[in-house]
Amino acid sequence: MGYRFEAGRIYRMPTHFGAAHGPRQLPDDIAVDPKRGPRRLSVAASFLTDPAALERHLPDGFTLAEPVVTVEFHHMTDIDWLAGRGYTMIWVTWPATFVGRRDRATGKFLAVIWENLADPIITGRDEIGHPKLYAEIAEPRRCNGAQICAAGWMGFRFLELEVSQLRDAESDRRSAASDGTLMLKYTPRTGAWGEADLCQVTLTPAADPDNHIEQRQTGVGTVRFHKASWSDLPTMHHVVNALAALPVIEARGGAVTLSRGGKSYRDQRVLL
């Protein structure tokens, strides 16, 4: 007879054992307080680059708003949907505007994410359209007054980020007016190699009312992507090398932020 999908419940491959728990679907008997967790140590640095180089990495329908690349490490603990465990994610973004048939939005264009845990990679790619890849990510560490982050794959370190000369800052991020975070959800078509089953712009609206910043420091930020051969990074050398090829025209500062709480991205939506 086989099983039937239960209406209104999120499924992921494999679907054959029932709906799947995850960030957007927790067991009913688990008390969740979106103001308490996750705890998040964020380390970010930005740089000005060549707009023409950056535009080559924007999909159809997008225009560059400002040629400034930001790389952020988010070391998270106390994550409710992981039963209190944690993981780290790295975001690479730049400001852009999307104009579609129906929708228009300006915000951070989320070009790539690396994470050191497969579970959020799977849920994020499938449910949100997060462009997530796997990396080994060192726990952020503070040494000689600088906050130091690094990421690699199978022992090849491809990214180093450091924020030094840290000083306390206002805990309000100066955030430009933004509609949120923009990304491209893409699923290749099985058998018809080169075609897509899905290619759509998705948006995370800007509001995140349960996220509370506890401490914020700013400083001098440096980012370095290391060029890789295919043999070093056989599934993602093209990503790393494209980022390594962006000229660093000017450093645009760094920040270290401690925060708590946040949303589940259930408000994620497709733009047309």
Options 133-141, 173-181, 211-219, 252-260: segment touching its own copies (CB under 8 A): 133-141
Q: Which of residues 162-181 bind its own copies (CB under 8 A)?
A: none
250 belongs to the binding site for its own copies (CB under 8 A): no
Which of 66, 197, 214, 250: binder of its own copies (CB under 8 A)?
A: 197
Q: Binding to its own copies (CB under 8 A): which residues in 78-117?
A: 78, 81-86, 111-112, 117
CB 177 → its own copies: shortest distance, Å?
23
Which residues inside 207-236 make contact with its own copies, applying CB under 8 A? 230-232, 234-236
Nearer to its own copies, 175 or 190 (CB): 190
How many residues in the shown chain lie near its own copies by CB under 8 A? 108
Exactly one of 136, 212, 224, 258 binds its own copies (CB under 8 A); which one? 136
Compute the least distance from the CB of residue 115 to its own copies, in Å. Answer: 9
Measured from the CB atom, the residue of 11 and 48 that comes closer to its own copies is 11
Beta-bridge mates of residue 202: 183, 270
Closer to its own copies by CB, 44 or 150: give it. Answer: 150
Residue selected from 46, 49, 181, 202 as contacting its own copies according to rule CB under 8 A? 202
Q: Could you tell me which stretch among 168-176, 215-223, 251-259, 261-269 binds its own copies (CB under 8 A)?
A: 261-269
**d(Cα 259, Cα 148) in Å, to the nearest integer?**
18
Within 8 A by CB and 6+ apart from 48, the residues are 67, 68, 248, 249, 250, 251, 252
Beta bridge mates, 71: 45, 92
Least distance between its own copies and beta carbon 252 (Å): 21
Site residues (CB under 8 A) for its own copies, limited to 30-69 = 30-31, 55-63
Element (H, E) at 53: helix 51-55
Q: How far apart are CA 47 and CA 222, in angstroms?
A: 8
- CB of 167: closest distance to its own copies in angstroms? 17
Q: Is the dihedral of CA 158, 45, 66, 266 positive or negative?
A: positive
- Cα dihedral sign for 130, 133, 139, 142? negative
Q: Write the burial class of residue 88 (CB in 10 Å: 0-12 exposed, 13-18 middle, 19+ buried).
A: buried
Q: Report how far residue 91's alpha carbon sits from residue 49's, in angstroms, rounded to the nearest whole number.
A: 17
**How many residues belong to the chain?**
272
